[in-house]
Structure 1
Amino acid sequence: MATPLGDKIRKLRRDRKLSMEALAAAAEMSKSYLWELENNDDANPTMDKVARLAKVLDVTPEFLAHDEQADTPQDAFDKAFFRNYKGLKPETKQQLLEILNTLKKTQK
């Protein structure tokens, strides 16, 4: 039985028209290990492996690692961004706000 992680990997791989061999090679892992991730409910990859898969699949590691199926890659990216934002110093948050305001003006 597959896990939410396995289901996400399989769907993203197929959406990107990647074979199991191609994704495994790009993520620097064996095809058999990738098969285990996609198909076994007891697969427990390291965050390094999740990060390598996420990079190749063009999503965040948080999106892959998060158990909820409802998240989209963009939702996971936004959540990760805000988690990082919360940890910033107030002066850095102010700088980001100024950058955001500048970017908003250029999109009008």
Structure 2
Amino acid sequence: MPTPLGERVREQRRKRGLTLEGLAERVGSSKSYMWEIENKEVVRPSAEKLAMIATALKTTVEYLLGDESEKAEENAKDTAFFRKYKSMTEPQKEQLRRILDALDDD
């Protein structure tokens, strides 16, 4: 029987159209380890591994660990957005700022 963590990982993985193998590659783990996280009753991944899984799934560790509020999912989306924003080049950031400014003019 999977844990809430396993259920959330599977849910987010499927939502993103990833296979177990695809998620494992992004996280730097084996497919069998990812299967265990999704399906075993007792799995205790390290904080570092949880952070890598959350990043690969564009969510947060808090959400994966079972914060069931809608706010948690919103925060996870915001965190994923800011993580992606931080990795953008300066011209990309500027373009995004202009888009947001244009949307704000309404």
The answer (yes or no) to whether the contact 2:13–2:19 under 8 Å persists in 1 is: yes
Gaps of 5+ in 2: 79-102
Please identify the structure whose Cα radius of gyration is greater: 1
Please list the CA deviations of residues 11-69 of structure 1 after superposition, one character each: whole Å capped at 9, or x if unmatched.
0000110000000010111111100000011001111110000001001112112x344
Alignment of 1:88-103 (within 5 A): none
Following superposition, the deviation at residue 77 of structure 1 comes to 6.8
Aligned residues: 83
TM-score by length of 2: 0.66
Cα separation, 2, equivalents of 1:16 and 1:6:
15
The answer to whether the 8 A contact 1:62-1:77 is kept is no
Identity %: 39
Shift of 1:70: 4.3
Q: TM-score, normalised by structure 1?
A: 0.65
In 1, distance between residues paired with 2:77 and 2:15?
19
Unaligned runs of 5+ in 1: 79-105
Larger RCO, structure (CA 8 Å, separation 6 or more):
2
Letter in 1 for 2:51: A
Say if 1:69 and 1:4 are closer, same or farther in 2 by CA, change over 3 A: farther
Q: Secondary structure at the match of 2:21?
A: helix
